[in-house]
């Protein structure tokens, strides 16, 4: 689902790619972490709110980086000046 989401990004700059990627990452990781909090809230290996928050930040920023990289590579491959 993440790859499909990133394939629909039409960013004119790496900054736009970063923001679009952050949006994709935030939504997908929020859904995942919400599910984990509901399923594994107790037991021997609980999914805590702290763990969910750290994972949500990681997923948001990692997907933002991928979005920026994809926008940069697209521009470079198509000889688009990013200045």
For the entire predicted model, the pTM comes to: 0.81
Q: Over pLDDT 90: what percentage of the chain?
A: 46
pLDDT tens for 55-79 read 999 999 999 999 999 889 888 887 7
Number of Cβ within 10 Å of residue 30's Cβ equals 15
Q: What angle do CA 7, 10, 13 make, to 5 degrees?
A: 120
Q: Residue 79: its pLDDT value, please?
A: 77
Cite the DSSP H helix spans in the chain.
2-7, 14-39, 49-77
Is the pLDDT score of 2 beyond 70? Answer: no
- The Cα 30–Cα 10 span in angstroms is 23
Average the pLDDT over each of 4-8, 23-27, 54-58, 59-63 and give the range with the smallest value: 4-8
């Amino acid at each position: 689902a993440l790859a499909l989401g990133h394939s629909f990004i039409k960013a004119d700059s790496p900054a736009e790619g970063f923001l679009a990627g952050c949006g994709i990452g935030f939504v997908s990781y929020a859904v995942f972490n919400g599910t984990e909090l509901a399923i594994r809230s107790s037991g021997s290996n609980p999914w805590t709110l702290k763990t969910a928050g750290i994972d949500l930040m990681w997923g948001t920023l990692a997907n933002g980086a991928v979005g920026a990289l994809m926008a940069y590579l697209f521009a470079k491959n198509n000889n688009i000046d990013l200045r």
